[in-house]
Amino acid sequence: MAAAAATRLFLLHSSPPSSLPCPNPSPSSAHTPRPAYPRLALAHRMAAAPAAIAGPSGDSERDLSASAVSLEALGAVESSGDGLERKEPSVATILTSFENSFDKYGALSTPLYQTATFKQPSATVNGAYDYTRSGNPTRDVLQSGIDKFYHTFSLMAKLEKADQAFCFTSGMASLAAVTHLLQAGQEIVAGEDIYGGSDRLLSQVVPRNGIVVKLVWLESPTNPRQQITDIKKISEIAHSHGALVLVDNSIMSPVLSWPIELGADIVMHSATKFIAGHSDLMAGILAVKGESLAKEIAFLQNAEGSGLAPFDCWLCLRGIKTMALRVEKQQDNAQKIAEFLASHPRVKQVNYAGLPDHPGRSLHYSQAKGAGSVLSFQTGSLSLSKHVVETTKYFNVTVSFGSVKSLISLPCFMSHASIPSSVREERGLTDDLVRISVGIEDVDDLIADLDYALRSGPA
């Protein structure tokens, strides 16, 4: 079958290298030929992608980045040789059934390729990898996994129902890459109740480049006030004007929400949060729709050197396997805590989409499976809110969210402190607002902890 001119096909690890030992077959498998090692099936590489080195004529000499590979997503239903159909796997199954496709020894857990550069076969023959900035096997397991039937797919893209995904050194690094898709004079429209770091990037850094609407930037629910945005409707409006739509899905995770299905072009995650889940790494992920966007992001990731380091990829791969379990437990805890706070005499208002009186509840559940585990509440008194934050025993005073440990903060003094006080006031971000990221602890202990902190605080 002839390949299209714009596509080069590579077959990686089609057979075990001759220099490596081949496992001895067991008696039961002696007459059943099978691959000795996990391997990649045919993967579509983007010819002349920006991530490649350009020759004198501007043509691509070779593709440096394995992360620039455009891998086909595993189909919704797989057909077997006997004509039977396989059920589409759930998120929890996807998170534990992807395999490491680069290790030649059958390691169950992904090895850590902690190297800056790779030896090449010769001076004129290039290997699959040459420099970790451009590509690394550990990163590519996170960006591009392989299932038990040797179908290649992008793990994070499959979770987000996108076409390709890319891993960055932090959530802000991934967002910065998106802003570099725009040119001087083009505009960004963003919600007013967004993460403080995103607000700082858009209001203080991006204007330096002369970017003045080519991109619509959304969160839903918003952080920290839990406002709900109609992603589908906003996407339709934006696309009618030729604008891209980015959704920061960090607060939901791909366990609960899939903005690509609602019309978004780019989904961003601070993988530091729910994806990794243990507060031990910083990472950002972009899942994109369409080959053109994938090429541009691949180029920026390589050119700017913002790809996630191998060790952080390894930590993320370790954490992601339990994401579905963690998110489910955290959400169950958060629902009970929100209901408790809503009935507490010292709490004035609770912001959580899972509560029946939340004004955006119906819209939210039309585009997400659950309300997540981040919520906020107001006491009406800064001194009481400060006391609650500093008195709780099982809630750690820290920025961020999505950890297995419960976290608590005053956003106006921490995560959103970079927003001027006058602007925060206009947006309804009051100083007494307390944000909670609920962990996996026993929920009765967490409720008792909050109750004590509220009741023991100043009148």
pLDDT 10s digits, 277-299? 999 999 999 999 999 999 999 99
The residue among 385, 408, 392 whose CA lies nearest residue 458 is 385
The residue among 13, 271, 279, 303 whose CA lies nearest residue 133 is 303
Q: What's phi and psi for 12, nearest 5 deg?
A: -100, 140
Q: Is the distance from CB of 176 to CB of 206 less than 8 angstroms? A: no
Let me know if 273 is a catalytic residue. Answer: yes
pLDDT of residue 406: 98
Q: Is the distance from CB of 217 to CB of 193 less than 8 angstroms? A: no
pLDDT of residue 3: 38
Which residue is catalytic, options 39, 133, 225, 289? 133
* Close Cβ partners of 459 (under 8 Å, ≥ 6 residues apart): none
pLDDT of residue 416: 78
Let me know if 394 is a catalytic residue. Answer: no
Q: Where are the domains of the chain?
A: 323-455
- pLDDT tens sequence across 106-149: 888 889 999 999 999 999 999 989 999 999 989 988 887 554 44
Crossing angle, helix 323-342 and helix 443-455, to 10 degrees? 40
* Close Cβ partners of 87 (under 8 Å, ≥ 6 residues apart): 77
**CA 356 to centroid of chain Cα atoms:** 28
Which residue is catalytic, options 140, 147, 193, 195? 195
pLDDT of residue 14: 31
pLDDT of residue 42: 24
Which residue is catalytic, options 39, 45, 225, 273? 273
- What is the Cα–Cα distance from 177 to 172, expressed in whole angstroms? 9
- What is the Cα–Cα distance from 233 to 217, expressed in whole angstroms? 14
Copy the structure tokens of residue 78: 């797989």
pLDDT of residue 186: 81
Let me know if 295 is a catalytic residue. Answer: no
pLDDT of residue 110: 87
> In Å, how far are 103, 138, 249, 283 from 109, measured between CA atoms?
10, 11, 27, 20
Residues paired with 436 in a beta bridge:
375, 408
Q: Which residues of the chain are modeled with pLDDT < 70?
A: 1-82, 99-102, 145-153, 192-213
pLDDT of residue 427: 82
Find the distance separating the first CA and the last CA of the chain, reported in whole Å. 77
Copy the structure tokens of residue 235: 């996407």
Q: Is the distance from CB of 275 to CB of 316 less than 8 angstroms? A: yes
* Close Cβ partners of 113 (under 8 Å, ≥ 6 residues apart): 102, 132, 136, 137, 138, 310
Let me know if 103 is a catalytic residue. Answer: no
Task: Name the helix (H) or strand (E) containing 10.
Answer: strand 7-10
pTM score > 0.75 for this model? yes
Q: Which fold has domain 323-455?
A: Aspartate Aminotransferase, domain 1 (3.90.1150)
pLDDT of residue 102: 65
Which residue is catalytic, options 248, 312, 432, 449? 248
* Close Cβ partners of 360 (under 8 Å, ≥ 6 residues apart): 221, 226, 227, 228, 353
